[in-house]
Amino acid sequence: MMAFLQIISDNILPLLVFVAIGYFLDRRYHMDVASLTKLTFYVVLPCFIFYSIYVAKLDMAMLHVFLLSFALMFILGFIGMAVGKVRGFSKAKTEAFKNGTMFSNNGNIGIALIALVFSNSPYIVDGKTPYLTVAGAAATMMLVQMNMCLNTLGLYQAGKGRLSPRDALSVVFHMPVIYTLVAVFVIKYSGFDMTATFLWPIFQNCASALVAIVMIALGMQIHRSRISFGDVDAWLGCFVRLVMGPLVAFCLIHAWRFMGIAFDPAVSQTILIMSSVPAAVNSVLYAVEFHNCEDFATELVMMSTFLSCITMTTTIYLARILFPIL
């Protein structure tokens, strides 16, 4: 029960406060959501991606975590596409559904959740946190994979809901995110010390601002959306994201073990926990940007965020049983 309350107070409540700020700001002042979305796309998000990838320790030992995360994302995308066909979704709604189930909120909730879990009992040994480093490295790899795919494939899928595939691809290549990814890998492995330049504080400050700006924008969109929390399709999306996600991750961990690659128990726990976090908030921004089922995308993200209080706590408990460390 204490772990449940701590997850809510440390990870969920701060996000909901920003959402509430956005909601009441828009209700009082009728804010410009489109401008805030463009600020995120063209300035804040590229800086966040550059910063998170540049500081990440990307060694070969974590390559399989990256690949497993990639496989998890595509399996959930396939499930989302199948649900769309069975339910008779339009092309636009299918893409919105896929974005809400394939991509998770690893940056805002996942990383913080892993830090919280492995910094507390029963993972403290003689006053130290010996499992936090490897767990943090695995979580970072999953975050890097999610950032790369969410801001390229996710953007393409959102655009494809309203545009032709060719036009959607053209939109992706007009966004700075794709060039940010190229730039950060070139600079990271060229040996150039970006932290010594005047640009580094800009990247840091923008990266820190991302959560607040994105959640405030979500709150504004909620104020303008017709959300009933009774949409069956949104509940299906939550089931795929919050229940099927951990189940698929569990199967993939054992598939890797069958291939002779056994993860450290702390890494296995991290993968399972990271697979249980709610839908990515960026999926709402993309839906707004392309006018692609904005209300549905907003409802799916908000419902999954609320319900994740239960599913994340359950997954943390099960992870300790399924992949025991101590």
Domains of the chain with bracketed CATH: 2-322 (1.20.1530.20)
pLDDT, one tens digit per residue, over 58-105 is 666 688 999 999 999 999 999 999 999 999 999 889 999 999 999 998
Q: How far apart are CA 277 and CA 315, in angstroms?
A: 10
Q: pTM to 2 decimals?
A: 0.80
Range name among 59-68, 154-163, 207-216 with the lowest pLDDT average: 154-163
CA distance linking residue 209 with residue 203, whole number of Å: 10
Q: What is the mean pLDDT of the chain?
A: 85
Residues 22 and 321: their CA atoms lie apart, in Å, by: 39
**Low-confidence winner among 50-54, 76-80, 195-199 (lowest mean pLDDT):** 50-54
What pLDDT score was predicted for residue 40?
82
Buried b / exposed e along 153-168 (16+ C-beta atoms within 10 A): bbbbbbbbbbbeeeeb
- Tokens representing 232? 């069956």
Q: What is the DSSP letter of 194?
A: G
pLDDT number for residue 61: 66
The answer on pLDDT for 326 being more than 70 is no
CA angle (173 as vertex; 169, 175 as ends), nearest 5: 120
* Integer Cα distance of 315 and 317 in angstroms: 5
Q: How far apart are the first and last CA of the chain?
A: 21
Asked whether the predicted pLDDT for residue 134 surpasses 70, the reply is: yes
DSSP 274: H
Residues in CB range of 9: below 8 A, 6 or more apart:
none
Is residue 248 very low, low, confident or very high in pLDDT (cuts 50, 70, 90)?
Answer: very high
* Residue keyed to tokens 């249980």: 276
Most confident by average pLDDT, 135-139, 166-170, 177-181, 235-239: 235-239
The four Cα atoms 60, 67, 15, 217 give a dihedral, to 10 degrees, of 110
Smallest CA-to-CA distance from 300 within 102, 37, 78, 22 is with 102
Cα 77–82–83 angle (5° rounding)? Answer: 95
172 is written with which tokens?
A: 């992706």
Residue with tokens 């339009």: 90
Q: What is the pLDDT of residues 292-314, one digit of tens each?
A: 888 899 899 989 988 888 888 88
Residue with tokens 């128990």: 265
| Residue 201 confidence (pLDDT) | 95
141, 56 contact by CB (below 8 A): yes
